[in-house]
A and B are shown apart, each in its own frame.
Chain A
């Protein structure tokens, strides 16, 4: 049994965006907080696309772009509906996103960025221990009373579980009755490819440190749909894709083969040509959303970030939800410490705070969209992008065939693939859950 008198105020498992946000908030409030990170440095195990979002990040780290290791601010977001050998592209670029403080997002490299965030928490008084893998929980009756590492025990009044998408601790805590299904996670792989800064500016139409995000959805190969992405760093480009683990598992496809095929796509190929691969990486993305969330709190503990499945995959949001959850958990811990009450009644405040915020509300709004799009991904990410590409092909190609004939052929083919009745149902499938939420 763990003793309360030698316990620290809060122990945080995992120095990701959620854990560090919690530690920073607690340290700023003068509390004793220890963060345990299994990587050899903070960020060593972390991978994302990716970009961090300015507004939610600045709430924790005001004016961070002045000093933090950011790569480029994103001035433009291009969306591509793709087939294996074509794409319809639409983009949004805004002067507003090009001027501080309106930067919408920045690309970062996690090894540098996460370490910088951890340094801010350390400067505020948090104690961060790396190369330390938490193996188990400490219990005081039915209350979680800290954690066990290979070397020693860390008794704590409050335990914040932020151990990521493979949250073994959430299972050990009894907060999750089943492990996520393959359909509830995506597997992402990517390469960071070195390119000269000026080459990137020229290829991506960038200036003065601006960057571009590409989001490409559709059929990558033989009906296997995926979400491809490209991000621009200062002098490297990230190219990657995420696919449902269930699809990869059932179709027996190697994600790195899919990545190679994606890199050969006519939109992607010239953007990365001649670049040198600096690093290949992969990570799982918890996309199950609302229906796959574990119970978020119990006596003595709360679950934050990816461990709580807090990802909105429709809008590519994760780190912002993670940071917000970390702050809410810290605020709850502060309340618990003040009242010297670590029961699940007291810690239920965490769920209330999440529910009153966009974090929980967005996941609730999208609760039935994510599974629907997932279930009918061949329709939403296969059929419609295909039809759109065919429409554009019909419109732009000049081949001495009468236009009426071509349009009739397009309409006929499209309706054969999916009747107006089915298309109306598709619209309802996506629309109704939003309207009803």
Chain B
């Protein structure tokens, strides 16, 4: 990607209101992550939730940033992310939408 960004993903996510639940509502199957050739979720997730940690050999999940859009559920190479909605009233709140 060549263009100079006007805002980074961190700056973008800073504009979003969150009330994270006590634990993750996104649970990837780490065995699948290890054999996944592309780690595509690291790219297509619009909220930059997933990051493959090569040293720990696992996917780190910043579920606090999740938009609950569901792209990872459908787009995971193995469709093996356990995915559910956060607890009552938790998760993302779009103030404008």
B27 in the interface, Cβ–Cβ < 8 Å? no
Chain A residues positioned under 8 Å from B22 (CB to CB): none
Chain A residues positioned under 8 Å from B11 (CB to CB): 277
- Asked whether, in the complex, the Cβ of B74 is within 8 Å of the Cβ of A185, the reply is yes
Chain A residues positioned under 8 Å from B1 (CB to CB): 221, 254, 257, 260-261
- How many angstroms from the CA of A133 to the CA of B44 in the assembled complex? 26
What is the CB-to-nearest-CB distance from A238 to chain B, in angstroms, rounded to a whole number? 9
Q: How large is the interface on A (under 10, 10 to 19, 20 to 34, 35 or more residues)?
A: 35 or more
What is the CB-to-nearest-CB distance from A152 to chain B, in angstroms, rounded to a whole number? 11
- Asked whether, in the complex, the Cβ of A282 is within 8 Å of the Cβ of B69, the reply is yes
Looking at A208-216, A244-252, A409-417, A426-434, the stretch in contact with chain B turns out to be A244-252
Seed contacts A133-B85, A252-B38, A281-B94; 13 additional CB < 8 Å A-B pairs: A38-B88, A44-B92, A44-B94, A131-B88, A132-B88, A132-B89, A133-B88, A189-B46, A192-B96, A252-B40, A255-B44, A257-B1, A277-B7
What is the CB-to-nearest-CB distance from A326 to chain B, in angstroms, rounded to a whole number? 19
Chain A residues positioned under 8 Å from B88 (CB to CB): 38, 131-133, 149-151
Also in contact, A179 and B97, with CB within 8 A (given A132-B88, A150-B88, A249-B44): no
Q: Name the prevailing secondary structure of the B interface residues.
A: loop
- Asked whether, in the complex, the Cβ of A248 is within 8 Å of the Cβ of B69, the reply is no
- Asked whether, in the complex, the Cβ of B13 is within 8 Å of the Cβ of A280, the reply is yes
- How many angstroms from the CA of A283 to the CA of B46 in the assembled complex? 9
Q: Name the prevailing secondary structure of the A interface residues.
A: mixed
- Asked whether, in the complex, the Cβ of B44 is within 8 Å of the Cβ of A260, the reply is no
- Asked whether, in the complex, the Cβ of B96 is within 8 Å of the Cβ of A165, the reply is no
- Asked whether, in the complex, the Cβ of B12 is within 8 Å of the Cβ of A182, the reply is no
Interface membership of chain B positions 62-97, coded 1 if the CB is closer than 8 angstroms to chain A and 0 otherwise? 000001111101110001000111111101111111
Chain A residues positioned under 8 Å from B38 (CB to CB): 249, 252
- How many angstroms from the CA of A114 to the CA of B93 in the assembled complex? 13
> Residue B44 contacts which of A181, A191, A254, A279 (CB distance < 8 angstroms)?
A254
- Asked whether, in the complex, the Cβ of B95 is within 8 Å of the Cβ of A245, the reply is no
A253 in the interface, Cβ–Cβ < 8 Å? yes
Interface membership of chain B positions 25-55, coded 1 if the CB is closer than 8 angstroms to chain A and 0 otherwise? 0000000000000101001101110000000
Also in contact, A245 and B74, with CB within 8 A (given A151-B88, A263-B6): yes
- How many angstroms from the CA of A87 to the CA of B84 in the assembled complex? 41
- Asked whether, in the complex, the Cβ of A248 is within 8 Å of the Cβ of B70, the reply is no
